Amino acid sequence: MPPWMLLVANLLPILVGIILMHSLFLTSQFFADSGGYLWRAAKKTSGFLCLFLLVEWAVSSFSFLLTVTIFHFSAFPLWLLGIIVGILTAFAPSALEVRFLPKEGATVNQIQKPLTRLLLKLRIVLRYNFARAIEICRQQDLYDSQLEDGWIPGMTSKQLSRKLRILYEACKYDIALDRGDKSFLKYDVDYFPQGKFYLLVKHLGRKKLRESLMRPIQLPGANWDGRERRKINGTQVSRDVNSNLAPERARAYDSEDCLASIKRRTSGLGLLGTTRRQASKGEISSEGDELQTTEDTDL
């Protein structure tokens, strides 16, 4: 085997380690609320990703060759050493990004730090570029959903809007519970269907949302085709989901059990956030002692 081919064979495991590390990092950051968009975002940012990976490969290859030359790893498999070097090289910028540019709760002081400004200036914040590509893909789907046969073949924008309303009605309790916010239980009147699209695509994922919209959707016992305006007569007691009346007369936000579940979820998230902030400030010991509202048309 020619020397250059032997060199490339020894350096390829480094690239494998880099790709493996970044794949795990991006999946852990975006899989929960961006299902169906990871591969699309990767294709959209392919130019940036290739340049980013090549730079890291060059840096890690230099480190690898220098390490082998100095320490003479004769008994250690070079391919395994290459993978380890690649993982460590890819871990460094990812760790810096998570530390200085958190996914949630980034403050002005954090962004103005010299190292953070350097990361942004050099455009080596992989997660931010990937998140931007995912959002562009979502916006494209939202635009297509407003066109005739744009997102789902054979379905007009009016039909899609009505199905989005019905599907949100079926999923709103889970959405409110996941987000710990009871206001999502009332996110059904005077809101555009496009806002429901964003909530549903993050909750279900792109593939599952499309499959759900292509199937007939009918709420149990509800005679409603998804129109914006619907009037259910009766008092709050008669509409209670715990009553023996028809389900279409019920409103989820009148259910005390439903609201109590969301309140417990909210309290748990708030306590966890407070605990994390106190831990970051050293206030507790290691042992733990202590979308736009508007009037919608009748589509």
Q: pLDDT of 111-167, one tens digit each?
A: 677 766 766 665 567 888 888 899 999 999 989 888 877 788 888 888 888 888 888
The Cα angle at residue 255 between residues 250 and 257, in degrees rounded to 5: 140
Q: For residues 296 and 188, what is the distance between their CA atoms, to the nearest angstrom?
A: 10
Helix %, strand %, coil % of the chain (to 5): 65, 0, 35
- Over 60: is that where the pLDDT of 233 sits? no
* C-beta pairs of 261-270 under 8 Å, 24+ apart in sequence: 261/177, 262/176, 262/177, 262/180, 262/181, 262/182, 262/185, 263/182, 265/177, 265/180, 266/180, 266/181, 266/182, 268/180, 269/180
pLDDT of residue 58: 92
Contact by Cβ (8 Å): 167, 213? yes
Confidence bin at 256 (pLDDT 50/70/90): low
Q: Average pLDDT in the 34-58 region? A: 90
d(CA 140, CA 150): 10
CA R_g for the chain: 26
Is a pLDDT exceeding 60 seen at residue 10? yes
pLDDT of residue 20: 92
Residue 292 predicted with pLDDT over 60: no
**Residue 106 corresponds to which tokens in the numbers above?**
């980034």
| Separation CA 73–CA 67 (nearest Å) | 8
Give 223's Cβ-side CA count (13 Å radius).
3
Q: Please state the rounded mean pLDDT for residues 173-202.
A: 83
Q: Give residue 232's pLDDT band: very low, low, confident or very high (50, 70, 90).
A: low
Residue type, 291: L
Higher pLDDT, 4 or 180: 180
Q: How far apart are CA 200 and CA 189, in angstroms?
A: 16
Where residue 201 falls among pLDDT bands split at 50, 70, 90?
very high
Residues 57-70 have a mean pLDDT of 87
Q: Give the pLDDT score at 105.
A: 59
Check: CB of residue 274 under 8 Å from CB of residue 193: no
Helices 126-145, 78-100: axis angle to 10 degrees equals 70
DSSP-derived secondary structure for 67-134 = HHHHH--SSS-HHHHHHHHHHHHHHHHHHHHHHHS-SS---HHHHTSHHHHHHHHTT--HHHHHHHHH
pLDDT tops 80 at residue 297: no
Q: Is the pTM of this model over 0.85?
A: no
Strand partners, 293: 191
With 0-12 CB in 10 A as exposed, 13-18 as middle and 19+ as buried, what is 294? exposed
The identity of residue 139, as a single letter, is: Q
Contact (CB, 8 A) for 221 and 248: yes
Would you say residue 261 has pLDDT above 70?
yes
Give the pLDDT confidence score for residue 17 in this predicted structure.
92
Cα–chain center distance at 54? 26
What average pLDDT is seen over the chain? 75
Please say if the pLDDT value at position 32 is more than 90.
Answer: no
Of 243, 269, 244, which Cα lies nearest the Cα of 256? 243
Highest mean pLDDT among 52-66, 90-104, 265-279: 52-66
